[in-house]
């Protein structure tokens, strides 16, 4: 998410997070100007593939401190909204149902 405009920079749907999905999410948007990509410390964000994509696009990487969810609070808020406002209370039956509702 761009914290200045409060817009999501990229997105991808997956049943579990991995480097391929994170790369795909970043590639869904044209990169305008310099970006600082801030994330948690998940392996998908520290993978060689993802770090190479950031480097090729001159994106600066920033990671939360270990165990400090407050460092990534804007994205944590997006995920909370996603879970409480956009996803049905009973969840989705399978990943194909998610694709139909996106």
Into which CATH architecture does domain 19-101 fall? Answer: 2-Layer Sandwich (3.30)
Give the bridge partners for 53, in sequence order.
none
**Cα atoms in the 13 Å half-sphere on the side-chain side of 66:** 1
Percent of residues, the chain, with pLDDT higher than 70:
89
Confidence label for 17 from pLDDT (cuts 50, 70 and 90): confident
Q: Which helix (H) or strand (E) holds 39?
A: strand 36-39
Question: Average pLDDT in the 12-30 region?
Answer: 82
Q: Tell me, what's the pLDDT at 51?
A: 94
Give this prediction's pTM: 0.68
In the chain, % helix, strand, coil (3-state, to 5) comes to 45, 10, 45
């Amino acid at each position: 998410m761009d914290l200045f405009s409060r817009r999501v920079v990229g997105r991808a749907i997956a049943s579990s997070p991995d480097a391929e999905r994170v790369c795909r999410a970043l590639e869904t948007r044209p990169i305008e100007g310099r970006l600082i990509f801030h994330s948690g410390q998940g392996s998908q964000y520290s993978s060689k593939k993802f770090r190479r994509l950031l480097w090729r696009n001159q994106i600066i990487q920033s990671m939360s401190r270990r165990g400090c969810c407050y460092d990534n609070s804007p994205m944590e808020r997006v995920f909370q909204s996603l879970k409480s406002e956009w996803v049905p209370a009973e969840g989705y039956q399978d990943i194909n149902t998610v694709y139909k509702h996106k």
